[in-house]
Amino acid sequence: MDTTIKMQFYIFLTSIYGGLIAGFAYDLYRISRYYFKPKHIATLIEDFLFWIGITLIFFYIIHESNWGEIRGYVFLGFFAGGIMYLKLLSKLLFPILKRLLDSLGLLLRKTFKVIAFPFKSIKKTLSPGMRRLKRLRQIPREALGEIKKYKTIISKKK
């Protein structure tokens, strides 16, 4: 096991990097909650899954950087990276992500309108004829209903 100062500094920087990744994951989680607005039970489940994801990120980075050895400076690096992200980068990236997803939603809505336009115009054109056909299809059904209704009266007249 190499425990030189250089290696420990690398591990510390890697844990700061892990904190930055955790902060970005938190921003993605905030964006999803902003758009989907989950109810209480869904919020609990999402929080639980979020923390499981952060824990997996934490242990993966610890495993890859220093073979799973947990030191105090590793925790300090994760917290420092998370705080740096939330104080500096989140204020820049969260609005950008929000605008990006708003633009993507607008693009998808417009694309759907363009794709749906021919179908709406065909439906609008064929709608009066379809109503007539629907009415014509109901005539035999109504006739059978009338026959059944008056069947007893007709059969008694013999």
Mean predicted confidence (pLDDT) in 14-34? 93
Q: Tell me if 112 is assigned to some domain.
A: yes
pLDDT above 90 coverage of the chain, percent:
54
pLDDT for the residue numbered 20: 94
pLDDT above 70 coverage of the chain, percent:
96
Q: Both tokens of residue 47?
A: 């929080």
Alpha helical stretches, state H, 5-89: 5-36, 40-66, 72-84
pLDDT tens-digit profile of 99-147?
999 999 999 999 999 998 888 888 788 777 777 777 777 878 888 888 7
Domain count for the chain, please give it: 1
Distance CA 116, CA 125 (A): 14
Q: Tell me if 33 is assigned to some domain.
A: yes
Mean predicted confidence (pLDDT) in 26-50? 92
Q: Tell me if 34 is assigned to some domain.
A: yes
Q: Tell me if 98 is assigned to some domain.
A: yes
**Distance in Å from the first CA to the final CA of the chain:** 109
Q: Tell me if 44 is assigned to some domain.
A: yes
Q: What is the mean pLDDT of the chain?
A: 87
Q: Tell me if 12 is assigned to some domain.
A: yes
Q: What range defines the domain where residue 67 resides?
A: 5-118
Q: Tell me if 134 is assigned to some domain.
A: no
Is there a contact between 23 and 89 (Cβ–Cβ < 8 Å)?
yes
Is there a contact between 50 and 25 (Cβ–Cβ < 8 Å)?
yes
Q: Is the pTM of the predicted complex or chain greater than 0.85?
A: no
